Structures are given as C-alpha cells and as structure tokens.
Amino acid sequence: MPDLLVPRLAYGAANLGNLYRELSDEEAWAILDAAWEHGVRFYDTAPHYGLGLSERRLGAFLRTKPRDEYVLSTKVGRLLVPNPAGEGALDTDNDFVVPATLRREWDASEAGVRRSLDESLERLGLDHVDVLYLHDPERNDPESGISEGIPALAALRDEGLVGAVGIGSMDVAALLAAVRTGLTDLIMIAGRYTLAEQPAGEEVLPACLEHGVGVVAASVFNSGLLARAVPDRDGRYEYGAVPPEVFDRAVDIAEICRRFEVELPAAALQFPLRHPAVRTVAVGASRPEQMIQNVERFEAPIPETFWTELRTRGLLG
C-alpha cells in the first residue's frame, strides 16, 4: 500500500452524526477533544453518518489541528441529495437523529465517486483526505459497485487526490472481491473480525496478506455485545437479535476474562491487532468518558496465557 502510516487506534465518528441519540455541537467537540488529548490521531467518517453532520463536526474540529499530525478517512458510494418529502421528519429509519431534508442516493460510478469526494471535502472544510473507502456496496449492487467504484477510487489515488483507497463493509464476499481486484490499499472490516466471530479470518485476511492490503477492524464490540463484562442476550446486534451461537461464544469468552481478570471490552479492542494483516482498530464513543475508557482499555496489559486459553478452548477461529 502507499507510504501511509496509520495509527493503531482510530475514532469512528458515526456518533458525531447523532447515531441513536442527539448530541449538541459542544458534546461532539468534547468527545473529539478527549480523543485528541489521549493520543488518537486517526479519524473515520462518512456522508452516511447523520447526512453529513459527522463530516461537518469532525472537519470543524480537525481544522484546529496541524494537518500533518492526523490521518483522516471518509467514504463514497452514497450521494446526499435534497429530500423535500423529509421536511419535518427525522432520519431515524437510518438510526440518525437528524432532519431528513437530505436523502442518500447510491452512486459508485466514477462521476459519483468524484462528486462525493468533492462534497465531503466541502463539508469537512479540508483540502484532502488520506483514505477513501467505497461504503457498503453490498447494500445496493455489490457486483457493479465494486467493478465501478474500486477502479474509480484507484484513479483518484493514482492522480494523487487521496493517499489510499479501499472498501468499508460488513459483507465478507464484498470485502474479498474488493481485495482481489488488486486495487485496494486498506479495507475496513465492520463486525466480521471480532473476539466473538471471525468469518473474515477464513479468506479475507489471508487475501489481504497475499495482496499487501492493510485492515482496519471496526465494530469490534459487535454493536455492544462485547462492550460490557457480561454479554446481554437482549442487547443490540447489527440489525436484530444476537445469533445464539455468537451469544454463547461471548458468554464463554466472558467467563475466561473473569478468570484471568481481563476486561471483556479490553480483550475485544485488542484482539484484532493480533493478526498481522490488521493495522488499526476503529472504535466509536458517544461521550468523552467513553472515549477515554476505550483508550485505557486498548492499552491495558493482557497476559499471553489468556489468549492461549481462548485458543485451547476453541473460542478463536
């Protein structure tokens, strides 16, 4: 991949787009301030997050920082267009508490990708981003999305308009197809390589090693399942209930955490980086205290015997 040094911990800024609950501008700034003060220098956002609100808030903050001191990624594949029918409504169907005066329109064409980048830069108030991902092509048309979108991203990279390109997805097939194009530098795996489940470990990560592609592991708490010491069967898991086999595995892992006096969320944060393909873990936060706690857990010492026990018990794929 290009000569881009990506830090090992990133802040995933979906919460800045009022994911699940409304944040004031002051609350959003406080989260980012806590991240920066505790050494976080990699930030990820997307037009999808709050219909551009996350990009605007993140850009306002980062414009106060030296541009050469942080890495910034955003995404393409969804354009934001006017939505007169959304007047007076909120975007809660997409989990964001923001006015629905815009709507998302799928477009992974070369023209759409370039337009999306230009509009993101305008919202961010910055002149470039370091990493650009094709966002969730599996939710629309994965085959044409990857066949059109990835080459369009690679062209932007080759023109020097972005530093590195790839895909951000929770779909193993889409991730693998993007890596096999030979055009990606960095991929963001959302929820498919975590302490509780590792389907991306079967083919995607080996393909990344083969093609020299770096990995950012996101959604490492599996939507909250691994975010507390005792997993909650009724907790949020992506788009529905927690699959029984995933929940049972999480419970077994939590018991071993208890025995080794390891916090389950700390283990969840640190696990992905044990694979040589994984460069970074991206984690969200909706409060400054949560951001600080994530940094502390990311840095907490975990004995190698803990990981050995998990492997011995067959709890790691």
Question: Helix 142-158 and helix 110-124: axis angle, to 10°?
Answer: 60
Banded model confidence at residue 2, pLDDT cuts 50, 70, 90 = low
* Cα–Cα dist 294/288, whole Å: 10
Mean pLDDT of the region 153-163: 97
Which residue numbers are catalytic?
49
Q: Which residue has the higher pLDDT, 223 or 266?
A: 266
Banded model confidence at residue 232, pLDDT cuts 50, 70, 90 = confident
HSE-CB for 277 with a 13 A CA cutoff:
23
Residue 170 has pLDDT above 90, yes or no: yes
pLDDT tens readout for residues 32-91:
999 999 999 999 999 999 999 999 999 999 999 999 999 999 999 999 999 999 999 999
Residue 1 has pLDDT above 70, yes or no: no
Mean pLDDT of the region 183-200: 97
HSE-CB for 186 with a 13 A CA cutoff:
30
CA 209 to chain centre: 20
Banded model confidence at residue 215, pLDDT cuts 50, 70, 90 = very high
pLDDT tens readout for residues 279-308:
999 999 999 999 999 999 999 999 999 999
* Cα–Cα dist 305/310, whole Å: 9
Q: Which domains does the chain have, with CATH numbers?
A: 9-312 (3.20.20.100)
Banded model confidence at residue 223, pLDDT cuts 50, 70, 90 = confident
Whole-number pLDDT of residue 234 = 77
DSSP string, the chain: --S----SEEEEGGGGGTBSS---HHHHHHHHHHHHHTT--EEE--TTTTTTHHHHHHHHHHTTS-GGG-EEEEEESEEEEE-GGGTT-B-GGGTB-SB-SEEEEE--SHHHHHHHHHHHHHHHT-S--SEEEEE-GGGS-HHHHHHHHHHHHHHHHHTTSSSEEEEEES-HHHHHHHHHTT--SEEEEESSSSSS--GGGTTHHHHHHHHT-EEEEE-TTGGGTTSSSS--TTS-BTTBSPPHHHHHHHHHHHHHHHHHT--HHHHHHHGGGGSTTEEEEEE--SSHHHHHHHHHHHHS---HHHHHHHHHTT---
Whole-number pLDDT of residue 31 = 98
Percent of the chain whose pLDDT exceeds 70: 98
Whole-number pLDDT of residue 3 = 56
Q: Which residue has the higher pLDDT, 242 or 207?
A: 207
Mean pLDDT of the region 152-167: 97
Average pLDDT over all residues of the chain: 96
* Cα–Cα dist 254/228, whole Å: 9
pLDDT tens readout for residues 237-283:
776 788 899 999 999 999 999 999 999 999 999 999 999 999 999 99
Banded model confidence at residue 106, pLDDT cuts 50, 70, 90 = very high
